[in-house]
Structure formats: C-alpha cells, structure tokens
Amino acid sequence: MEFEKDILCIGAGYVGGPTMAVIADRCPHYRVTVVDIDEDRIRAWNSDRLPIYEPGLDEVVARARGRNLFFSTALEDGIRNSDIIFVSVNTPTKTFGQGAGRAADLQYWEKTARQILRNAESHKIIVEKSTLPVRTAAAMERILNAAPDGPRFDVVSNPEFLAEGTAVRDLESPDRVLVGSRETPEGVQARKAVVEIYANWVSRERILESNIWSSELSKLTANAFLAQRISSINSISALCEKTNAVIDEVAYAIGTDSRIGSKFLKASVGFGGSCFKKDILNLVYICENYGLEEVARYWESVVRINEWQEKRFVRNILSNLFDTVAGKRVALFGFAFKANTGDTRESPAIYVARGLLEERARLVITDPKALGNARAVLADVDGNVSFEEDPYKAAEGAHAIAVLTEWDLYRGLDYERIYRSMVSPAFIFDGRNILDHQKLYEIGFNVFAIGKAPLKHFK
Ligand code: UDX
Ligand code: ADP
C-alpha cells in the first residue's frame, strides 16, 4: 500500500512510543516507524508485553502495529525513507562538567542529529519532541545544515504535554498541540506539515502555532507552573500539620476560585517524574546564563521545597518511630512516581527508601507495576530491601507502612487484617492522603497524613 507520509520517530520511550502509536492509530494513511538503539525495548514493543505500562496503550498498539505502525532498530533505513523525523531520545540532567545537576545533557540529541545528517539523502523535517532547553533547535539546525551541498533540514518544535498514566487520553484529546518553527517560508511550510498530522484528529483551534523559541519555552514554563502549584500546596501542608487546618479542605476552598482552579493542588510526599525537576533546573540554568539571578532563585525554590517535603516525610517517620528505625521492618506501598505507571524516574519513593535505608530500616517494597524498575533503581543496596507483589505480605511484621503512590488498590485493602499482622504500635504514613484516616485510627493505627494533624494513640 502507498502511504501519504512516512513518519519516523527516533526513541521508543515513554514519549515516542505512545505518541507514535496514537498518530498511527488515528492516521492509517501514514506509515509510522519507531526506531531505538535498545534492541530489548524494540523487541518488547513488538511483543504482547509492551515495555511501558500505560492504560489503553495495548489496544492502540494492537490496532496499528503491523498495519502502519512498525518498531525497529533499523535507524539508517528509517532515516532514508522518511519525510518527517520526530526525535524523542532521552535528555537527562547533566551529571558532569559545566551545568552539572542543572543543564540538560544533549549528547543523545546531538548523536541523533549526526546520524540523521549521515544518512539523509533528501530534505527532512526534524521535530523536537524531547524536552530540550530553549535554543536547542537553533543548535541542531546549525549541526544539520553544516554541509553546504547536503539536503536541507527544517527543525520544528512540538513539545509533548502528555502525562504518564493518562498518555493515551492526553494524546487523543489534548488541551492543545503546540508547533513552533522559524518564521521563514521554509520554516512555516515545515510547521504546516506537522500541523497537518495532528489535524487528522485534533480540532484546528487546539493546534497552536508559534515561533520556535516560544514553543520551546512554553514546555518548560508549563511544567514549572504545574510543579509550582504542588510545591505551593506542599509548603502549606507543613503549616496545616502544626495547626488544626486540614490541607484537603484548604485546597478545595482555594481551588473553587475559578481564577485558581482545582487541579494540581493535591498535597503529597513530593512530585516526581522525568520532567518537572529536569525542566525547572533547565529553566534555572538558562536564567543564570542570561544573568537573571532572581528569576533563577525563584524557580529553583520550587525544587527546593519539593526536596524539603521529601526530607520532612522521612524525618516524620523517624521521629514518630521513637527516633530509630534500625532493624525495623517498614513497608513502602507504591514506588512509581504516580499511579497508573511503572515509571520510577525521580520518584519521591527513591528518596524516602534511601533515607530509611540510611537509618538501617528493613524495607519491603510493593507496587503493582513498578517493582522491576524499583529493583533496578535500588540495585546497589544489599540486604535490607526486599520486593513483594502482595501488599498484605509486605505489611506482615512491619512497624510502619508508608504510602508513596496513590494506587487505587491501596484504598480498598482490608486494613483490619493488615493491622493484626503488624507489630504494635502500628503506624501509617500516608504520603498521598488517599486512605480513610479516621477509620485507620479507629482500627488502632497511629496515622500521619500530609497536611493534617496526626492521629495518635499516645501523647
Ligand atoms: C508532567 C506534565 O503534567 C506533562 O504535561 C508533561 O508533558 C510531562 O510532565 P508527568 O510527569 O507524567 O507529566 O506527571 P504529572 O501528572 O504531571 O505528575 C508529576 C508529579 O506530581 C507526580 O509525582 C504526581 O504524583 C505529583 N502530583 C501531581 C502531586 O503531588 N500533586 C498533584 O496535585 C499533582
Ligand atoms: P522519554 O521519557 O523522554 O520518552 P525514555 O528514556 O523513555 O525518555 O526514551 C528515550 C529512548 O531513546 C530510549 O529508549 C533510548 O534507548 C532511545 N535513544 C537514545 N539515544 C538514541 C539514538 N541515538 N538512537 C535511537 N534511540 C535512542
């Protein structure tokens, strides 16, 4: 069959995989190929057990795979045969050299650009899909258009706004799609080609066009604002714990003000995920580079409050377990950075686990989807950590439970049974405020939630 467009995506991760699956599902007249250097990942995309857990994704992939959606490691062929190349390789925070701990590590992006340059034989539109610092598109254009008589490349920025756990829904009915390009005739033409893809299922008013800098900066700013809301409510949660105010009541009361809005006001042990911290630190780094110290410090404080919230949670466990957790069994309910994903990148659970391990606690970690990643993240720890599918078994013989991911599963457990299997006095630290705290207290637990006065059976 002849396809109208040949789309390639380099990088078959949390962004590339679901995005391309939805494009292929919605546009049967395009051929969509996703390539990755990781052979295991590609094998998994071609199997019944996809490499990432995302509600609804199995069905979307099943409809399109083999029809017009292909997963492969054949990068060179993919580049040669495509008109439009989405790049969604990883862009972690740099761990070395200038900007370490803040700037984005662009080595994977640059390698990809050079691979494109080596293999392309005709004009290509390169779409930035990974979160990248502002001005990356310009740097990439310079690399790609370095050879004077090679084919021309137009770089378009099309930031991803999907959230993990709701990726398919976010892709199928996005609040908006943003496409930025240079304002030259070629740039605008490239932008239109990307807009045309989304216009297959997204209404035109929701497809926003802008210049390339606005598009890149909008992604960082959106994530910075979302994270700022969480840090703001988390900062107030600490005050609630000292007074008699209840954070969920405060959040509800302020959220009903339509100017504020009700979303992203859920106090928690802290925000995680691959984007928030990375993007804010990126923003901070850019501001510093432009000499905007005050702006840099302002945004940096969003990350600092988050770290403080995680630290506070560990300190709270320690002080309430009579200042020692050494040798005590503590069950962590959830390890993913949020519910409905197996992703553990930057999960607050990592900080909490390491904090408790430093205090020599014996950890049992349970999670319905993230145990594989949890094992990998804690691979350097020997002895004091074990992994258990069944939350009842995880809690057996434990002094305390810490809820770290808001999985629905944890709301419906039989806490009387759990209480009977634990060491007395038994403690629950609800880092996601998802449990019925009064009921737990009546069962006999000492209950510590975020942003609520503790419910203790002792002074
Ligand atoms: C985020 C953005 O939402 C998305 O638009 C962008 O494309 C990528 O980054 P993601 O990291 O997948 O998505 O998850 P998100 O739902 O934003 O949650 C991030 C973290 O904040 C999670 O750890 C979550 O548990 C926490 N969170 C979220 C809260 O603690 N309270 C809230 O009210 C909302
Ligand atoms: P994200 O959450 O941004 O999607 P992931 O780490 O899940 O990030 O996915 C990025 C993917 O990009 C990984 O599967 C990685 O193997 C792949 N990748 C990195 N560099 C290259 C490259 N040069 N060519 C092809 N794939 C690459």
**Same domain flag for 286 and 196:** no
Instruction: Give the closest ligand to the alpha carbon of residue 221.
Output: 1
Same domain, yes or no, for 271 and 382?
yes
Q: Within this chain, do residues 232 and 198 fall inside the same structural domain, yes or no? A: no
CA distances from 133 to 9, 156, 224, 239, 342 (A): 20, 14, 13, 35, 26
Cα-to-centroid distance, 69 and ligand 2 (Å)? 18
Ligand 1 centroid, distance to 281 Cα (angstroms) = 16
Of 19, 46, 44, 15, the C-alpha closest to 30 is 19
- Closest ligand 1 atom to residue 279 Cα is 9
**What domain range includes position 106?**
5-202
Long-range contacts (CB closer than 8 Å, 24 or more residues apart) made by 205-208 = 206/174, 206/175, 206/176, 206/177, 207/176, 207/177, 207/179, 208/176, 208/177, 208/178, 208/179
The reply to whether ligand 2 has any atom less than 6 angstroms from the CB of 42 is: no
Which numbered atom of ligand 2 lies nearest the CA of 160? 3
Residues 187, 221 share a domain: no
Tens of pLDDT, residue by residue, the chain (459 residues): 789 999 999 999 999 999 999 999 999 999 999 999 999 999 999 999 999 999 999 999 999 999 999 999 999 999 999 999 999 998 888 888 888 888 788 888 889 999 999 999 999 999 998 777 777 888 888 888 887 888 999 999 999 999 999 999 999 999 999 999 999 999 999 999 999 999 999 999 999 999 999 999 999 999 999 999 999 999 999 999 999 899 999 999 999 999 999 999 999 999 999 999 999 999 999 999 999 999 999 999 999 999 999 999 999 999 999 999 999 999 999 999 999 999 999 999 999 999 999 999 999 999 999 999 999 999 999 889 999 999 999 999 999 999 999 999 999 999 999 999 999 999 999 999 999 999 999 999 999 999 999 999 987
Residue nearest to atom 10 of ligand 1 (CA): 163
**Based on the structure, what is the number of domains in the chain?**
2
Catalytic: which of 27, 240, 275, 287? 275
Residues with CB under 6 A from ligand 1: 160-164, 223, 226, 230, 264-266, 268, 271-273, 275-276, 337-338
**The tokens 């975020």 sit on which residue?**
450
44 Cα to the center of ligand 2, angstroms? 14
Pairing between strand 427-430 and 400-403? Answer: parallel
Considering every ligand atom shown, identify the ligand nearest to the alpha carbon of residue 230 and give its number: 1
Indicate if 275 belongs to the active site. Answer: yes
pTM for this prediction: 0.95
In-domain check, residue 219: yes
What is the three-class DSSP state of 366?
A: strand
> The CATH number of the domain where 371 resides is what?
3.40.50.720
What ligand has the least distance to the C-alpha of 163?
Answer: 1
Domain co-membership, 134 together with 235: no
Euclidean distance between CA atoms 317 and 363, whole angstroms: 13
Do 180 and 194 touch, CB atoms closer than 8 A? no
